[in-house]
Structures are given as C-alpha cells and as structure tokens.
Amino acid sequence: MDVRLDYGKEGLEISLPDHLDVKTLAYQSATPIAQQPDQTDRQALQEVLKHPNHAPPLSEIIQGRSSACIVICDITRPVPNQQILEPILETLLAGGMAPSSIKILIATGLHRASRPEEIVEMVGEDIAAKYTILNHDAQDRKQLVYLGKSPRGVPMWINTHYMEAEMKITVGLIEPHFMAGFSGGRKLICPGIAGLETIREWHSPRFLEHPNAATGQLSGNPVHSENTWIANRA
C-alpha cells in the first residue's frame, strides 16, 4: 500500500507491506467558524477586524497611535501570514500610519534567523518590499529591553522594537502544546521575542517538570501562567 504523508514542502511517499491493516487519518475540509458561506477568506478577515469578540475594532484601537509592531511566527509554523497581514496593514494605513512606522517582527525565539526567500514565502513579495521586516535575535542585548523579574523570578528581556511601538499586534496560531497547554498570542512574546536568559529560565525543569505542564492543560500550568504574565507585562 502506498501512502503520501504531508511531510516538508513536497510531501513524502512511502510503501507499506500489504499484510498490514492500515488506516489513514486525514484532515477534512471545513469552513472557518467566523466565515459565512458567501464570504471570501479576505472578507471574513475584514469582518473579524471590524467586529472582534470582546474588543473594539482594530480601527478604533489604533486611533492616536503613530507606530506599530506586528509579531509573526517564523517559517516553522503553518500560519497564512500574508493572508492575515494584508487586511491588518490596510487598517493601519487607513488609520493614518505610514508604512515606514510599521515594523514586522519575526518571533524566532531561539530558532535561526529567517532567510530572505523564506520571508518572501511567509509574507509575500509586496509586503516584503514595502515594510521593515526584522528577525528577533534572543542573544543580541542591543535588541532587548530589561523589564525586571517576574513574580517567579524569571528575568524578563523583550525585543526593543516591540516595546517601543505604540501599537502591538501578534499574528499566530492556536493549537495544543505539550508544555504550555495551547500555543497562541502570549507564546509569540515569550519565547518568541524574549531574550536568551528569559527563555532559558522559562524552559527550565522547575516549569517543564510540573505535572500541569501538559497538552491542553491551562489551569494550574506554570508554563502557561508565567509566559502569560510576561506577555502582559510587555
């Protein structure tokens, strides 16, 4: 039996012995919860920005703010950055921000820097050409601001570009995470744009070996509560 796995960019074909009882688990197509049947993906995103849950529209939040830093995941995360960034950037420009005052910061954590061709793949040629796009470097103190220690004693070093922006936006994905319970916004800040000392302590055994540091577990999870505290502080 031949099976194609979604592995890497091209996929992987493997052959399994015929005597094996093989069952395949595959994703089914689905309509996003916030999308109406007659809407395009772009229209659905624009509608969400105009009518978000439990928050004012982005167009209202940015009023009076002259600069923005948008944090995005790096190439290792399957986020449709270009698709999401386009309506966000349009909203910022319509609110009076200049392209030169908007920075897109790649949350590398301790990963290597994104290559130029990977940046184009992530955000598209137009966005890559028009906006300042930066790789976070957790080991470069010149890129970091020290915010003191958290209540649990974690030294908080966060990217300077993010801290200096008047408008802070994170773009990512939410999925089960084997330590933090779920991924999501606060993980783009810690570890995404945190310093080496911060990440090293947050990833230390005293957090990771806690019994509540588990997949899908938020309540009582010190990994989740710690990086949430750090993200709120930033």
Q: How far apart are CA 136 and CA 167, in angstroms?
A: 18
Tell me which residues are annotated as active site.
111, 177
Indicate whether 33 belongs to any domain.
Answer: no
Name the β-bridge partners of 187: none
Indicate whether 6 belongs to any domain.
Answer: no
Task: Determine the pLDDT at residue 6.
Answer: 84
What is the pTM assigned to this prediction?
0.88
Count how many domains the chain has.
1
pLDDT higher than 80, residue 215: yes
pLDDT band at 229 (very low <50, low <70, confident <90, very high): very high
Could you give the C-alpha distances from 81 to 73, 78, 86, 122, 207, in angstroms and in order? 8, 9, 8, 6, 31
| Tens-place pLDDT, residues 187-210 | 999 999 999 999 999 999 999 999
pLDDT higher than 80, residue 178: yes
pLDDT higher than 80, residue 31: no
Name the residue range of residue 215's domain: 40-233
pLDDT higher than 70, residue 147: yes
CATH number at residue 138: 3.40.50.11440
Q: CA 216, 218, 224 angle in degrees (round to 5)?
A: 110
pLDDT band at 34 (very low <50, low <70, confident <90, very high): low
Work out the mean pLDDT of the chain and round it to a whole number: 93
Share of the chain above pLDDT 70, in %: 98
| Tens-place pLDDT, residues 75-131 | 988 899 999 999 999 999 999 999 999 999 999 999 999 999 999 999 999 999 999
Indicate whether 5 belongs to any domain.
Answer: no
Q: How far apart are CA 126 and CA 212, in angstroms?
A: 43
Indicate whether 64 belongs to any domain.
Answer: yes
Indicate whether 8 belongs to any domain.
Answer: no
Q: How far apart are CA 5 and CA 26, in angstroms?
A: 10
The more confident residue out of 165 and 184 is 165
Indicate whether 18 belongs to any domain.
Answer: no
Indicate whether 121 belongs to any domain.
Answer: yes
Share of the chain above pLDDT 90, in %: 77
Indicate whether 25 belongs to any domain.
Answer: no
Name the β-bridge partners of 12: 5
pLDDT higher than 70, residue 25: yes
Alpha helices in the chain (DSSP H): 41-50, 58-61, 81-94, 116-123, 125-130, 160-164, 185-189, 196-202, 205-208, 222-233
Torsion 74-102-229-80 (CA) sign: negative
